[in-house]
């Protein structure tokens, strides 16, 4: 279990820190909050705090979760972090580098001074209960939820990686170019909406303008379709972007590919998405992992178009990333052929859908979609 018996300051809101430092002056909590936002790793680095207060914190609290981190760097700029937590369990977080986006140097793109756009991919659980047959994490089963500090820690670690890779250049205060990480995707290990409380708290801390100040609109949460969680997000926030891991809108096939969805019928999922949009949630992304010979039929295109009808949505096609040993109904999974992907894309567009293709990043270090959980790159 997380280190719940020891306060971990990096997972706390400013209000919680204020209560913790009492009867110290309130401004001390703000100082600590800002130091955490800056990425310090020890209390000794908090130079404007009195030494006795730093010593007091060190005796009773952790500044950040205890972790052991192993880095894997890919030739495409991807950095995968295998993070061993205090209880010996492991998660993975990924820094994705995009140097080829045509608008990466636009003022509002969130690109660094080098023109590289960095995205932090965060995990919310150790393992995953969804059991999707095409996902390495799904094959691990579920171990436990992460707490808010463990989620935030991934962002702090990945931001430090991005800072080490980005040349220092002056930028207007608060501008996207100043940000070493321009986007966060909660698409790592686990089903985020089954750990919504700690995720909501983590997003609140990361988005607090008095600290890190990361825009909620630059955070995307991906779910395999937890209807109650989507409705909760719609009603109670935070105002993040939402992606649905749909894969197929053929209900029977979806349940066989994604066993968790047996209790999440597509009708209920769509109703929750409509509620999310009525509450101002904006356009949603329908993610479709394309499996060679399985979900790229004309029927699949028609079913997906039917599901998308009435939604403000973009379909994001993700050709399956290889994972050894994964199979479906007795047959090894395979990547879809290029022609297969292009044909499916054309069919969706002909049916009136807005279609995008996932940029393939991280495969060399097993850091791409569906590959997390191996803790090591391909041999």
- For 231, the 3-state DSSP assignment is helix
Reduced to 3 states, what is the DSSP secondary structure of residue 299? Answer: helix
Instruction: Determine whether 92 is an active site residue.
Output: yes
Closest CA to 81 of 68, 64, 97, 94: 94
* Both structure tokens of 365: 């270090």
Active-site annotation holder among 92, 153, 161, 191: 92
Residue with tokens 């009867």: 23
Residue among 255, 349, 330 at smallest CA distance from 295: 255
For residue 219, which of 231, 229, 235, 205 has the smallest C-alpha distance? 205
Q: Is 369 an annotated catalytic residue?
A: yes
Q: How far apart are the C-alpha atoms of 312 and 94, rounded to whole Å? A: 29
Query: Which residue bears the tokens 């495409």?
Result: 76
User: What stretches of the chain show up as alpha helix (H) in DSSP?
Assistant: 14-21, 26-38, 51-60, 148-165, 196-207, 227-236, 251-257, 266-278, 298-308, 338-350
The C-alpha R_g of the chain, in whole angstroms, comes to 21
**Catalytic machinery residues:** 92, 369
């Amino acid at each position: 279990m997380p280190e719940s018996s020891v306060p971990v300051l990096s997972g706390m809101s400013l209000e919680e820190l204020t209560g913790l430092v009492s009867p110290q002056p309130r401004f001390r909590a703000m100082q600590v909050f800002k130091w955490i936002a800056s990425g310090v790793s020890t209390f000794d680095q908090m130079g404007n705090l009195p030494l006795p207060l730093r010593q007091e914190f060190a005796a009773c609290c952790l500044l950040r979760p205890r972790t052991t981190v192993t880095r894997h760097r890919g030739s495409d700029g991807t950095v995968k972090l295998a993070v061993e937590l205090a209880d010996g369990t492991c998660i993975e977080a990924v820094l994705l580098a995009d140097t080829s986006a045509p608008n990466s140097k636009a003022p509002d793109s969130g690109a660094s001074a080098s023109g590289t756009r960095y995205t932090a991919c965060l995990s919310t659980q150790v393992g995953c209960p969804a059991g999707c047959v095409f996902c390495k994490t799904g094959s691990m089963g579920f171990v436990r939820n992460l707490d808010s500090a463990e989620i935030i820690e991934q962002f702090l670690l990945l931001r430090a990686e991005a800072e080490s890779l980005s040349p220092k250049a002056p930028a207007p205060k608060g501008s996207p170019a100043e940000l070493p990480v321009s986007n966060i995707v909660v698409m790592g290990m686990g089903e985020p909406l089954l750990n919504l409380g700690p995720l909501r708290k983590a997003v609140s801390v990361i988005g607090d303008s008095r600290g890190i100040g990361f825009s909620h609109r630059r955070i995307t949460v991906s779910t395999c379709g937890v209807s109650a969680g989507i409705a909760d997000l719609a009603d109670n926030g935070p105002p993040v972007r939402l992606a649905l891991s749909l894969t197929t809108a053929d209900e029977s096939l979806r349940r066989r590919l994604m066993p968790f969805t047996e209790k999440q019928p597509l009708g209920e999922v769509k109703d929750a998405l409509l509620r999310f949009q009525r509450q101002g949630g904006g356009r949603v992304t329908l993610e479709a992992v394309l499996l060679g010979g399985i979900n790229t039929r004309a029927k699949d295109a028609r079913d997906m178009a039917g599901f998308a009808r009435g939604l403000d949505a973009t379909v994001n096609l993700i050709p399956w990333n290889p994972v050894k040993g994964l199979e479906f109904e007795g047959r090894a999974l395979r990547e879809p052929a290029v022609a297969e992907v292009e044909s499916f894309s054309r069919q969706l567009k002909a049916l009136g859908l807005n279609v995008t293709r996932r940029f393939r990043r991280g495969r060399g270090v097993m850091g791409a979609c569906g590959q997390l959980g191996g803790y090591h790159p391909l041999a």
